[in-house]
Amino acid sequence: MTGAPLRLYNSLSRAIEDFHPIDPDQVRIYTCGPTVYNYQHIGNMRAFLFADTLGRVMRWKGYGLRHIINITDVGHLTSDADAGDDKMEKAARAQQKSIWDIAAHYTDAFKLDVQRLNITPPAKWTVATDYVGAMIEFAEGIADKHCYRLDSGLYFDVSTVPDYGRLARATTEAGESRLDPVDGKRNQQDFAIWRTSPPGEQRQMEWDSPWGRGAPGWHLECSVMSLAELGHPFDIHTGGIDHREIHHPNEIAQNQAKCGCDAADPGFTGARIWMHNNFLVDRGGKMSKSTGEFLRLQTLIDRGIHPLSYRLMCLSAHYRSELEFTWDNVIAAQTRLKRLVQTVEKLRASPDKPSRGTVEGYRERFDAAVSDDLNTPRALPVLDELLADKSLSPADRLAAAADFDAVLGLNLASVTRADLRTRPADATIDADTIEARLAERRQARADKDFARSDALRDELAAQGVEVMDGDPLGWDWKL
Ligand code: AMP
Ligand code: ZN
């Protein structure tokens, strides 16, 4: 580990803590992944951008890293309680497809967005249905002491573990209204770890178990996959802030039960640190799949926004702050990215000369910012200042920018201004035609034929092309 001490906000203590890895050679991180019954919206992608920034900071600071992200292809119900349909079964019925087709389609779409946003792929994408055997084994190991059976499945009794819900700061009496009742539950917050299929009803995804044919509960998946791939305790568990309330407390309860180490290690939760990103919101509140406009990364691309502009928009806010999505915000981020890319392009083209100073001070400030609970909004201006520092040679500035970009992931070394000129899907005119019209217009202006020049500008405007004379960014036009 190099540089400033890394400090991270732990949702368990609700405080910023010094980070000390369990194994200094390899930091182990688990991130709750997508439920692949639908596309991920850009709010979901904020959660993965946050986890990626965490992983990048670890590697940049010299740690080895094993990062796991799961794919939930079974078990996630339409409500956080134990009532309602399996999201996957429901989507398959609605689209008249097999669950496996649904899962494959949305998993591919998600991975494409991961790649477009330059999110580093994890060491392994763990797919829930690959771990059902291990889930049954895990459940068998804790069933006697911690679970009870109802007709609808095997339930976890939250009163059998100490301090249930401390991550959510909830008590076993509180929050009753958030859960749909299931007859026979001992405590409101008890949850199904195995859901037995109702008699006469066949699900597409079912497995035999000691509790009848059925499917695993969603919370069980993450306990089992994190244990199998990382071992308990591992360093950091991440997810969106909604998971702090039910999903993660339930994972913790299962981990406590499995470990059976209450007396020896009363603080045991399965992970040392639990980290949560805040929501991407729009005017209607939290962006979600059921309410408001469903914005996918593809929607942004179709409107001329480059994926890395959205990445920069997310980096411009702290992960623990709500971030409001507006088109103006994302367009402003795109302008900021264009400026960065243009500056880097200019530096690359400049003749080299010796530096009169060093980049060290910038590196220290950048490090201090990202080591302070991933404060990327404070790190970004350090990059701007570095690039503008004329006492440093172009080569030194470029090398330091590339170094910072290992954390930011903006592809500054390879993205060109032309890449950022994304063409809106509904544009009816292509770049060659625009260039040809602009050449005609330049000629008209050279001939002082201003009526012709204005007519060409209006003609382009009617097709959605804005002509930008003297734009400081050096763009002649934009769609
Ligand atoms: P899901 O596919 O619903 O399981 O969600 C994937 C991830 O996105 C989870 O970590 C959620 O907590 C997170 N998430 C859901 N909605 C938002 C949002 N509006 N902003 C940020 N993260 C979100
Ligand atoms: Zn999870």
* Tens of pLDDT, residues 314-369: 999 999 999 999 999 999 999 999 999 999 999 999 998 999 999 999 999 999 99
Q: What is the pLDDT of residue 256?
A: 97
List, for residues 158-207, the tens digit of each pLDDT value. 999 999 999 998 655 444 444 556 788 999 999 999 999 988 887 888 99
The two tokens of residue 72 are 């939930």
320 pocket-lining for ligand 1 (C-beta < 6 Å) = no
Nearest CA to ligand 1 atom 9: 240
C-alpha 30 to ligand 2 mean position (Å): 9
List, for residues 94-127, the tens digit of each pLDDT value. 888 888 888 999 999 999 999 999 999 999 999 9
Question: What single string gives the DSSP state of each residue in 139-189?
Answer: HHHHHHHHEEEETTEEEE-GGGSTTTTTTTT--SSTTGGGS---TT-SSTT
The two tokens of residue 115 are 């790649």
Position 212, amino acid: G
List, for residues 378-400, the tens digit of each pLDDT value. 999 999 999 999 999 999 999 99
pLDDT over 60 (residue 30): yes
Nearest CA to ligand 1 atom 11: 240
C-beta of residue 467 within 8 angstroms of C-beta of residue 457: yes
Among 30, 31, 39, 44, say which to mutate for ligand 1: greatest number of ligand atoms within 8 Å of CB: 44
List, for residues 405-455, the tens digit of each pLDDT value. 999 999 998 988 888 876 677 777 787 888 888 888 888 888 998 888 888
Q: Which ligand is nearest to the CA of 30?
A: 2
Q: What is the pLDDT of residue 175?
A: 46
pTM for the model stands at: 0.89
- Could you identify the atom of ligand 1 that is nearest to the CA of residue 72? 4
319 pocket-lining for ligand 1 (C-beta < 6 Å) = no
- Could you identify the atom of ligand 1 that is nearest to the CA of residue 279? 20
C-beta of residue 219 within 8 angstroms of C-beta of residue 278: no
Which residues fall within 8 angstroms of residue 164, CB to CB, at 6 or more apart? 158, 172, 189, 249, 253
Domain with CATH 3.40.50.620 in the chain: 7-281
46 pocket-lining for ligand 1 (C-beta < 6 Å) = yes
Q: What is the pLDDT of residue 94?
A: 86
Q: What is the pLDDT of residue 81?
A: 60
32 pocket-lining for ligand 1 (C-beta < 6 Å) = yes
The CATH number of domain 7-281 is 3.40.50.620: yes
